[in-house]
Amino acid sequence: MNSAVVRGEVRLLLRDPAVWTVLLVLVVTLIGAVIQGVLRKHAEIAVFTEMANADAARLESATWDAIRLEEQGGNVSRFRDPRNADVVGRRLAVQHLILPPTGLAALAVGQSDLHPAWHPVSLEPRDQLLAEGELNAPRQLAVGRFDVSFVVVFVAPLLLLGLLAGSPARERESGILPLLAVQRGRLGGWLALRTGLRLLIVLLPILVVGVVVAWLPGPGPLETAASETWLRLGLWGLAVAGYLTFWAALGVWMGTLALDTARAVLALAAAWLLLVILLPAIANVALELSYPQPSRIEYVDAMRAATDLARAEGSEVLQQYLEDHPEMAGDDVDVDDFFAQRLLVQARVEEALRPLSTAFEQQRQARARQVRWLRWASPAMLTSEGLADAAGTSESRQADFLQQVHGFHDAWRDFFGPRVLAGRPFFDHDRIPTFEYSHEPPTRLAARMAVVMLGCFGLSVALGLLALRRARSLPKVMGNE
C-alpha cells in the first residue's frame, strides 16, 4: 500500500457529502457546548469572586468595628458584637470555601450540577452548612447537562459510525471488495487506514476544542494553575481518543461481520443504544436497588429529636458533656451563658447523630465502590467519568474537596469553640484560620485516568484484532455467498 491510497482516501472523504454533514453537526454542537460551558464557568467564577470579596470585606469591617468599640465604647447587642467569638465565628467571619474550577471545567459539567463547588464554613453544624450549599443545585439541574462531554459520549460515536457506514460491508454490497481483495490480499491495513482517517475527522475537532478551552484565559485567580490544565488536557485528549477508537474498532468489526450495509448500520445503532443509553440506565437501577440513597428526611428527623433532647436536658447534661470533653474549654466556662449553651447543644447533637452520619457515609462509600465497578459495564460510563475527572468536576474531586471542607470546619471549631465557651471579648480576628485548597497530586489523577484509558484502548485493541482476523477471511466469505 502506498501514498496513492492515502491520497485516494482523502479525495473520497473530501467528495463525500456525509463527511461535511458530520463536520457541520459536530462543529455546531461543539461550539454550542463550549459557549455554554465557558459561560457557566465564568458565571461560577464571578459568584466565587463575589463570595470571596464579601467574606474579606465582612471580616475587615468586623475587625475595625471591634477595635472602634473597644477604643470608643458604645452600646451594641451581644448578638451583633464583633468582639463576641460566637458572633464572629458564626456570622461575621463566615468563609466560603471554594473548589477552584480547572482550566477544563468548561468541558464537562460532571458532578458539579449535583454537588456545589463551595461550602460556607462557620460555627453552624456541618450538616446545616452542607444543606445550605445544596440550594444552588436545582437551579443548575434546570440548566441541563449539555456540554462537550455529552457531545463526546453521545453524539460523536453516532457521527463516527455514520462516517464508517458499515465499512467493509458497504464495499461488499457495492461489489468493490473482490477487486480490493485481489489487489491488496489482506485487507487489514486498508481497513485500518480507512477507519483511522474517519476517526481523525471526528476526533480532531474535539481535540481542537479541548485545546481552545485550555488556551482561553481564565477569568481570575481562582482557577487552577496552567501546568495542571495542560496535564489535564493531555489526559482528557487520551480519554476522548480511547473512547472514539473503541467505537471505530467496534464499527469495523461489526462491518466485517455483517453481510450488507443495512444490517451493519442496524447492529451498530443497537450497540450505541445498548452501551450509551440502556446499560447506564440499568446500572443506575442496579445501584438504587443494591445501595439505596440514604433518606435525608430520616436524618433531619433524627437531628431534630437530638436537638430537642439536648435542650431539654439542660445545663446539667451539658456540664457532663464538658467533663467528658475537657478540650472544649478551660475551667471558666459558664454553661448558663446562651452562646456557650448553644455551642454545647450543637456539639451534643452532632455526637448523638454520629452513628447515623457514619451509616450515611458508609452507604455513600458503598455506592461509590459500586459505581466504580458498574462503570465497566459500558465504555460510555467509563469515559463519562474519566472526562469529568480530567475536567475536575468528578465525584472523586468533589469528595476530596468535601474532605478538606470537613477538616477546615474542625479547625474552625477548634479555634472558636474555646473562645466562645470562655466568653471573653474576642480580638483574634487576624488569627482566624484561612482555607487554602490543596490540589490533588497529578499522579493520583493520572492513575485514575489510566484505568479509563486502559479500559477503552484495551477493548479497542481486542475489537481491532477481531476485525483484522475477520478481514483476513473476508475474501473467503465473499466466495461462499
Partner 1 sequence: MAASDAGGHWPLELIGLRKRFGPVQALAGLDLRVGAGECYALLGPNGAGKTTALNILLGFLQPDAGTARIAAVDVQADPDRARRNLAYIPEQVQLYPRLSGLENLAYFHGLGASEAMADASLRDCLRQAGLADAAYERRVHTYSKGMRQKVGIAIALARRAPVMLLDEPTSGLDPEAAFELNNSLRDLAARGVTILMATHDLFRAREVASRIGILVAGRLQQEVDPASVGGAELESLYLAAVRDLLGRAS
CA nearest neighbour of 188 among 476, 466, 479: 466
Q: Considering beta carbons, is residue 1 or 411 the nearer one to partner 1?
A: 1
7 binds partner 1 (CB under 8 A): yes
Q: Which of 61, 183, 295, 403 binds partner 1 (CB under 8 A)?
A: 183
CA nearest neighbour of 106 among 202, 28, 217: 217
Site of grid cell 433524627: 302
Cell matching residue 164: 464508517
Integer angstrom CA distances of residue 385 from 108, 137, 477: 10, 19, 40
196 binds partner 1 (CB under 8 A): no
Sole window of 80-88, 138-146, 173-181, 329-337 interacting with partner 1 (rule: CB under 8 A): 173-181
178 binds partner 1 (CB under 8 A): yes
Contact 178, 477 (CB under 8 A): no
Shortest reach from residue 13's CB to partner 1, in Å: 10
Cell matching residue 10: 482523502
- 3-state DSSP assignment of residue 63: helix
Upper half-sphere CA count for residue 468 (Cβ side, 13 Å)? 11
330 binds partner 1 (CB under 8 A): no
Q: What is the dihedral of CA 146, 148, 153, 157, to 10 degrees?
A: 110
Q: Considering beta carbons, is residue 9 or 124 the nearer one to partner 1?
A: 9
Q: Considering beta carbons, is residue 78 or 469 the nearer one to partner 1?
A: 469
Q: Which of 68, 78, 80, 186 binds partner 1 (CB under 8 A)?
A: 186
10 binds partner 1 (CB under 8 A): no
5 binds partner 1 (CB under 8 A): yes
Spatial CB neighbours of 195, under 8 Å, sequence gap ≥ 6: 164, 167, 248, 249, 251, 252
- 3-state DSSP assignment of residue 253: helix
1 binds partner 1 (CB under 8 A): yes
Residues 421-480 that bind partner 1 (CB under 8 A): 475-476, 478-480
Q: Considering beta carbons, is residue 164 or 388 the nearer one to partner 1?
A: 164
Shortest reach from residue 10's CB to partner 1, in Å: 11
- Would you say the C-alpha torsion 224, 230, 232, 237 has a positive or negative sign? positive
Q: Considering beta carbons, is residue 83 or 470 the nearer one to partner 1?
A: 470
Sole window of 8-16, 59-67, 126-134, 235-243 interacting with partner 1 (rule: CB under 8 A): 8-16
Q: Considering beta carbons, is residue 22 or 203 the nearer one to partner 1?
A: 22
Shortest reach from residue 214's CB to partner 1, in Å: 37
Residue 250, H or E segment? helix 226-257
Integer angstrom CA distances of residue 392 from 117, 345, 447: 11, 38, 14
Binding mask 281-310 for partner 1 (x = CB under 8 A): ------------------------------
Site of grid cell 455546531: 28
- State the CB neighbour count (10 A cutoff) for residue 238: 18
What is the size of the binding site for partner 1 (CB under 8 A)?
30
Q: Considering beta carbons, is residue 418 or 475 the nearer one to partner 1?
A: 475
Spatial CB neighbours of 206, under 8 Å, sequence gap ≥ 6: 26, 30, 148, 151, 152, 156, 240, 244
Shortest reach from residue 260's CB to partner 1, in Å: 15
- Would you say the C-alpha torsion 417, 422, 427, 431 has a positive or negative sign? negative
- State the CB neighbour count (10 A cutoff) for residue 402: 16
Cα 32 → chain centroid: 20
12 binds partner 1 (CB under 8 A): yes
Site of grid cell 469529568: 388
Q: Considering beta carbons, is residue 431 or 476 the nearer one to partner 1?
A: 476
Cell matching residue 16: 463525500
Cell matching residue 207: 481535540
Shortest reach from residue 179's CB to partner 1, in Å: 6
175 binds partner 1 (CB under 8 A): yes
377 binds partner 1 (CB under 8 A): no
Q: Which of 18, 46, 56, 176 binds partner 1 (CB under 8 A)?
A: 176
Q: Which of 15, 323, 430, 443 binds partner 1 (CB under 8 A)?
A: 15
Residues 16-45 that bind partner 1 (CB under 8 A): 16
350 binds partner 1 (CB under 8 A): no
Sole window of 130-138, 183-191, 399-407, 437-445 interacting with partner 1 (rule: CB under 8 A): 183-191
Contact 421, 210 (CB under 8 A): no
Q: Which of 163, 181, 214, 250 binds partner 1 (CB under 8 A)?
A: 181
Site of interaction with partner 1 (CB under 8 A): 1-5, 7-9, 11-12, 15-16, 174-176, 178-186, 190, 475-476, 478-480
